[in-house]
Structure 1
Amino acid sequence: MTARPIEYPTHPPVRAPARGPSAGGVPQVTTATDADHAPPTRPTDDERGRVWLDGITKRYGDQVAVDDLSLAIQPGEFISLLGPSGCGKTTTLRMIAGFEHPDEGDILISGTSVLNTPPYRRDVNTVFQAYALFPHLSVAENVAYGLQQRRTPKDEIRERVSQSLDLVQMRRFADRKPTQLSGGQQQRVALARALVNRPAVLLLDEPLGALDRQLREEMQLELKLLQARLGITFVFVTHDQGEALSMSDRIAIMRAGRIEQLADADTVYARPASAYVAAFVGQQNFFRGPVAAGGAAISSPHATVQSPDATLAGVAQGEAAVRPEYIRIEKDAGTPVADTNVARGSLIGVSHLGDTMQYLVELGGDQSMLVRRPTPEAPSLRVGDPVVCTWAPHHVLLFPADDSAVQGGYVAPPTSL
């Protein structure tokens, strides 16, 4: 059956705040003109979609939200800005979009500075966690809205709306209202509305945060496949490490308005640049104490944790990190074991996670340890059993002690499941 043609209502022109002084402290509003709707000069193919943040700083009173941040994003790259609330990731995204303006530095998109370019004139589109769909318009009308404001011919609007809805598999819902859609379907419509303008850069501000876990995981895969198919630069803001690891070409871990580490997912997970990154991405068991063995070990109250490399030579206090999946666990029979990379304790929790068994071990005092083993090889242990945990030296990461990370809540405590 052939779908009937879709008619699009006429809407008033976009009204955008003018850049410049305002009268009496009230922002001046101007109506968009034909010149405003004229397309910008098209950059060369190797420039389109390239984003360069050159020493940008953003302050709110005495608070520095983004601190002298520089970042080069390549055309067609999927990059995630990852970090806890208040680290500056959303402010950075909003400056790229034009909703915030840096106090210092420059922003270039597709080779051109956009500092004096209003949001609606930048070759970017933004998808927010709140999809902000017009409830009184149909799906197709929502997607068409931006093209109408650019005075795109109706035939072209119809064609591009159909193409965008096809990209997100929502064409058969074109006549429905947003209230008749599920959360995942609304998210797809918001994506189609952003993509219909064919931006050089798509900005995504935690767009999956309102979805349940299963749907969020499905949309992660769809987003990555869609980005690879279109070749558009994606800048994705999230506090969810799983999202960043599963989708990104590179991840920028942010802390206090700066980038703590910028690398691919494998590097960020296996070779974190600091204790802050190690704690934020995945889970870690941390042991803190004086540095020993010439910088190759930490002598903590519960274990001497040694690495093959003397990375902390000359450092007095440090911390060692071992991921739960790298630790072996068995019932403690009292048999002598090595002096390093061994911790003894009492099992206080067991959780079945499907393909993984998770164990929580109390080491004594205020420290516990998290262990995960694949279910087929996991030992049969009960709460209260004495256990011994061991791990290989090459799975140990050593860092200088980072009190600020601990006090800021960024180090995941090994005292909870």
Structure 2
Amino acid sequence: MTQASTIEAESGTAPEPVTSRGEAPGTVVIDTVTKRYGDSTAVDGLSLTIEAGEFISLLGPSGCGKTTTLRMIAGFEEPDAGDIRVSGRSLLGVPPYRRDVNTVFQAYALFPHMSVAENVAYGLQQKRTPKSEIRDRVVDALDLAQMRGFADRKPTQLSGGQQQRVALARALVNRPSVLLLDEPLGALDRQLREEMQLELKLLQSRLGITFVFVTHDQGEALSMSDRIAIMRSGRIEQLADADTVYARPASAYVAAFVGQQNFFRGAVAERGAAVDSAHALVRGASPALQEGTAGLAAVRPEFVSIDADASADASGAVNTARGTLIGVSHLGETMQYLVRLGDDQSLIARRPSPEAPQLAVGDAVVCSWRAESVLLFPADDAASAGGYVAPPTA
């Protein structure tokens, strides 16, 4: 359902027409925006168009500019340069309470002395909305958040997940064109966080409202987003759907931040199709680098096979590396193996539990993987790569 059809269904009126700028209701345009704090640049000439009804995540480590970007859309910060538009309207100089957006924070900020229904109704009361309309809209919002049965409870009588739903209902009751979510699941335990991820995505699909979600958790971004903007130093390193970001990262920075990687550093060989590292000649499926330069090869743990060295026949494998098994971890559906290749590097392999080999710490092992599973990057990205390269071992 699109946002326009949602508005029509809820209000019984025709949807708002596309603006003169050609930007549909709920579209967010960030146009070459810069934000500085003293000598530090938090957001650096950022441009991004978020389509109406899209679920987009701003993903990156602390200090990359994602929360500052969200706060500028919300109106809690003003850009030093550039423009921000929602539904074709520039927000420069517009106070937060006059913007057609609502924000849900990690800290729920519920009024402890008010009931759930009173918390949800508070914003409408401040706008002097008629009481009959407040009552109907609060019921609708609580239904959306599956919290109507808790309407008379106080926040202290609710679990963390229930409080999060109340915070969502409080934001949705205003029927904003854009909902901003600033790491709203960060305070929840893992199981509840995963449940809320599913609920958020289902809710957004049902409403058709534009969701802008800020997180440093790659799992959250991958599981919910239509597109993901990977941010680095106030800029977007890559903007794409989850499949593209995971399988075809634009840089070593993205490859390292999304998922986990085994990185091999060395000289580019075989006409640009391989990296000759200290522990393995790592071949890719096609030339990607300039031979003789410094390169970086990456392979994800789930693509690495592992067997006991004595019994393994890896002679036909395109890529192999031998080492000593120094750790085995049961991850439920997968088994994880940590292999020491040398004093300066280790490698991670993950295999589905039903087919995982029976190996013990101290075993000599051989790891292998296909050339199609290898990503090749120039070495100038290596300094920012956060993939798995173990520290020196004794």
**Same-fold call, TM cutoff 0.5:** yes
| Rounded Cα–Cα distance in structure 1 between residues aligned with 2:91 and 2:16 | 13
Structure 1 pair 405–225 and aligned structure 2 pair: CA distance change class (3 A):
farther
1:341 aligns with 2:314: no
Shift of 1:255: 0.2
CA deviation profile, 1:256-292 (whole Å, cap 9, x unmatched): 0000000000000000000000000000000000111
Residue of structure 1 equivalent to 2:390: 415
Residue of structure 2 equivalent to 1:49: 26
CA deviation profile, 1:83-120 (whole Å, cap 9, x unmatched): 00000000000000000000000001001111121100
Residue of structure 2 equivalent to 1:365: 343
Aligned partners of 2:249 and 2:255 also within 8 Å: yes
Letter in 2 for 1:275: A
| Rounded Cα–Cα distance in structure 1 between residues aligned with 2:316 and 2:62 | 42
Matches within 5 A, 1:271-310: 271-310=248-287
| Rounded Cα–Cα distance in structure 1 between residues aligned with 2:101 and 2:16 | 14
Aligned partners of 2:33 and 2:45 also within 8 Å: yes
| Rounded Cα–Cα distance in structure 2 between residues aligned with 1:67 and 1:388 | 45
Matches within 5 A, 1:16-415: 43-44=16-17, 47-313=24-290, 316-333=293-310, 337-338=315-316, 340-402=318-380, 405-406=383-384, 411-415=386-390
Deviates most, 396-405 or 106-115: 396-405
Shift of 1:336: 6.4
Letter in 1 for 2:138: V
Aligned partners of 2:106 and 2:182 also within 8 Å: yes
| Rounded Cα–Cα distance in structure 2 between residues aligned with 1:312 and 1:301 | 18
Report percent identity of matched pairs: 74
Shift of 1:405: 3.9
Aligned partners of 1:51 and 1:109 also within 8 Å: yes
Letter in 1 for 2:114: L
| Rounded Cα–Cα distance in structure 1 between residues aligned with 2:96 and 2:319 | 54
Shift of 1:190: 0.1
| Rounded Cα–Cα distance in structure 2 between residues aligned with 1:402 and 1:232 | 40
Shift of 1:338: 4.7
Letter in 2 for 1:375: S
Aligned residues: CA RMSD: 1.5
Letter in 2 for 1:79: I
CA deviation profile, 1:123-167 (whole Å, cap 9, x unmatched): 000000001011111100000011011110000000000000000
Letter in 2 for 1:382: A
Shift of 1:66: 0.2
Letter in 2 for 1:44: P
Letter in 2 for 1:55: T
Shift of 1:365: 1.6
Shift of 1:44: 2.0
Shift of 1:366: 1.1
Aligned partners of 2:269 and 2:292 also within 8 Å: no
| Rounded Cα–Cα distance in structure 2 between residues aligned with 1:101 and 1:337 | 61
Shift of 1:340: 4.5
Aligned partners of 1:283 and 1:324 also within 8 Å: yes
CA deviation profile, 1:33-81 (whole Å, cap 9, x unmatched): xxxxxxxxx9526711000000000000000000000000000000000
Structure 2 length as normaliser, TM-score?
0.92
| Rounded Cα–Cα distance in structure 2 between residues aligned with 1:353 and 1:314 | 39
| Rounded Cα–Cα distance in structure 2 between residues aligned with 1:315 and 1:253 | 30
Structure 1 pair 249–336 and aligned structure 2 pair: CA distance change class (3 A):
closer
Shift of 1:404: 6.5
| Rounded Cα–Cα distance in structure 2 between residues aligned with 1:236 and 1:383 | 42
Secondary structure at 1:402's aligned position in 2? helix
Structure 1 pair 47–401 and aligned structure 2 pair: CA distance change class (3 A):
same
| Rounded Cα–Cα distance in structure 2 between residues aligned with 1:263 and 1:323 | 19
Shift of 1:309: 1.1
CA deviation profile, 1:164-190 (whole Å, cap 9, x unmatched): 000011011111111111100000000
